[in-house]
Structures are given as structure tokens and as C-alpha cells.
Structure 1
Amino acid sequence: MSDTPSIAGPMRVGMLGGTFDPIHNGHLRSAVEVREVLGLNTLHMVPAPQPPLRDTPQVSAAQRLALLKAGIGDTPGLLADDRELQRDGPSYSVDTLAELRQQYGDDVPLVMVIGFDAFLRLAKWDRAEQLFELAHLVVIARPGYQSSWPSALKELVGNREVDSVDVLMQRTRGGMLMLELPSLMAISATYIRERLQAGKSVRYLLPEAVEQAIFYQGLYQSDE
């Protein structure tokens, strides 16, 4: 039996993309809290097979998707979405948002959720100006972390920023909200990979099912 209540009211949908290399408790706790705070019926968690702005992960997209599914388990409202694995070439969020917009229609609020580090690079994304034509943007703020926005980012965002979920959800797209989440889980996938490579424990950084799958398949571990 779930301890998470179902979401009432009009449908709201979110997308959280990433390499999930590997999925960890920080990702998953953030996803649960984002869904609750925004009142999303479904949050699509979308692994990127070939992220345009970073190196190709050493673990295959299919393996990372399997770990994501294991991590989500039966968590209500979180969905491991493989649509970017079905495309050739780099993974562009604007294409995924366009597919989700087509799937759910024009009358449903659609939200793209990204971290603050990714947000600072947003102006460099492919067809960045089209993102707001398809969805809202919710940026997960890092508490205590301040950084000035690049001028191109300020121009891209313009006057779209709002100060509450209620105001954001009055429209189906085009707004931006900075969101601080209750749980402060400073877990890094890079840190996890380094520990696995060194043969050190990753207990409590990952869901147990993900940890077991990593060790069973020998992922991220030294070849020596």
C-alpha cells in the first residue's frame, strides 16, 4: 500500500531528463518531491542515450534504463520513459517535449524539470527558445548556491519567471519557477561511479535494487 496520496484535480504532467548514470536516491527523492509540490499526475523520467553537452556514458542507455526502472519500482506517479532510446543521434529535450505535448494535448500543463547547473547552460541547448512554446520550466535550486545568469540566459528567460506553483499552473506552458525542495540530498552520480570504480561501498546512496543490479552485472566497476 502506497503512502503517497493520488493527485486530484486537472491533469498535470512533468518531464525530468538526465543521464541517470546511475540513478540514485538524490534523483529519486527529488522526483517524488517535485511531483508532490507541483501536483503532477505523472513525472516522466527520461534517460538520455547520448547527451549533447557531455561525454557519452560508459554504461549503455538500455542498462541505465533498466537501473532506472529498478530504482523507481512501484513508486506512484514516476514513470521510466524510454522514448529517447528509440531515436537516433543526440537527445534533445525539445523533441521529447513535443512528443509529450502531442501525447497529452494542448490543454494539459506540461513541465520540464531541470537542475540549476543545467539551467545555467540552457541558452546553449538545441532550439532553446522553443522549450517555452511547449512547456513550463521548473528549476531545482541548490540551497546556498548562488551564481549569476549568463546574459544569453537572461534574454531567453525574459519575464517568464513566476513565484508560485499556483501562478505557474494557471497556464499550460511558457512560465518558469525556481523551486527549493525540502530534502537536501547532495548525492553525485560522479561520486558513486568513483566509489564503485574503487571498490568502495555505495550503500544508502542508491536504492537497494539498483545496487544489487549494478553488482550483479558488474557495472561501473574496475576491469582490473
Structure 2
Amino acid sequence: MKQIGILGGTFDPPHIGHLIIAEEVRLALSLEQVWFMPSNIPPHKEKAKIDAQDRVKMVRLATENNPNFVVNTIEIERLGKSYTFDTMKILKNEHPDKEFYFIIGADMVEYLPKWQSIDQLMELVKFIGVKRYEHDLKTNYPIIEVSVPTIEVSSTGLRKRLANRQSVRYFIPDKVEAYIKEKHLYE
């Protein structure tokens, strides 16, 4: 059975933290691929600042140099709020030959009890928890812990830098930064 990591998020914008997490988890667990899954409307935060198609394009640009990274747009295509349980039910039906590992930061590990249909979701997917600054990986749910280098970068902070016309060099892949400038995103 092929083992696939899933890294969901708004990716508003995608940054090196996302890429490092995906690659480190892939290597640590010998996953065949990591699927980046941009959400349409995440249930736990406000709507993304940038249109879904621009976010998908940025994720494609960010991941294009890694043959083990795949962009999956199932949540964008479904529209509405992106509940992981609904997504994983569909993916398990469409890909019965794959075992899925859902990658989340420690902040989301703490939030797991509030996830929709969490007990049923635990039967569909294994959760991978990665450490995040000021958060522990404490939960009653079975989580596979993976240590990754800690890079203090957030999409929220990068949006502020972009809005203030500050440099985001090295925080965002060059092609993503060029796309942001070309489309005048986050201004």
C-alpha cells in the first residue's frame, strides 16, 4: 500500500516552513509523496485573503521542483468549508490502495478535539504532529510525532511584510514571490 502524506492549509502564501515540514515528514516516514491540499474555506479560521486559484498557482510554483510533492485541489473543487473528515472519506474511496497520513502542526494537535467527526476521522487517517513554537504535542489522540527544524515563519507575518513592501526573500520560493509581485497580491 502506498503511503501518502497530506499537508492541508490555506497557503496564503505558501512558504519555506510548509516545504520543510513536508519534506522532513516525507523522509522521516518514508512516504511516497506529500500532497499539498489548499483549502477553500477553512473551518477554523477566517476566509483566505487571496483567491483560491491564485493560492493553488502559488503552491504549484512552490512545489514544482520536488517530484515527491503533488498539489491536490479536491477541497477547492468542492467549494464551501473544507472539513478534513469529508475530504478523507472521498480520498479513501478514490484511492483504496493508499494509506494517508495527515500532517498538522502542534497548534492543530491541541485543536483536534474540536475537529468535525474526529473519532471517525481517526479511523480514516493517521495524524502526524510536528512541533511548533509555543505549542506542545499533548493529546489523547494517537499522533505520530515528527521533529522538524523549527523555522519561525507564518503566512500571516509574510502578508504583513508584503503589505508593507518589506522583503520576503528566502521566506518564499523565488517563483512564488515573482508571482505575488506580478499579480500585485497582498498589497
TM-score tier by shorter-chain length is: over 0.9
Which residue is equivalent to 1:122? 112
Are the equivalent residues in 1 in contact too, given 2:106–2:136 (CA < 8 A)? Answer: no
Are the equivalent residues in 2 in contact too, given 1:142–1:180 (CA < 8 A)? Answer: no
Which residue is equivalent to 1:171? none
Matches within 5 A, 1:45-84: 45-84=36-75
Counterpart residue type for residue 26 of structure 1 = G
Which residue is equivalent to 2:178? 212
Q: Which runs of 4+ in 1 moved over 2 A?
A: 145-149
Report whether the alignment pairs 1:193 with 2:183: no
Structure 1 length normalisation: TM-score?
Answer: 0.79
C-alpha root-mean-square deviation of aligned residues, in Å?
Answer: 1.6
The 1:207/1:146 distance shift into structure 2, 3 A limit, reads closer
Which residue is equivalent to 1:203? 169
**Structure 2 gap segments, 5+ residues each:** none
Give the Cα–Cα distance (whole angstroms) in 1 for the partners of residues 98 and 41 of structure 2.
Answer: 29
Report whether the alignment pairs 1:179 with 2:170: no
Structure 2 length normalisation: TM-score?
Answer: 0.94
- The answer to which structure, 1 or 2, has the higher relative contact order (CA under 8 A, 6+ apart) is 2
Counterpart residue type for residue 28 of structure 1 = L
**Structure 1 gap segments, 5+ residues each:** 1-9, 161-175
The 1:148/1:73 distance shift into structure 2, 3 A limit, reads closer
The 1:211/1:148 distance shift into structure 2, 3 A limit, reads closer
Identity of aligned residues (%): 32
Q: Give aligned pairs, total.
A: 187
Q: Which has the larger radius of gyration?
A: 1
Q: CA deviation at 1:126?
A: 1.1
Counterpart residue type for residue 109 of structure 1 = E
Are the equivalent residues in 2 in contact too, given 1:31–1:43 (CA < 8 A)? Answer: yes
2:2 is paired with a residue whose SS is coil
Give the Cα–Cα distance (whole angstroms) in 2 for the partners of residues 214 and 103 of structure 1.
Answer: 34
Are the equivalent residues in 1 in contact too, given 2:107–2:135 (CA < 8 A)? Answer: no
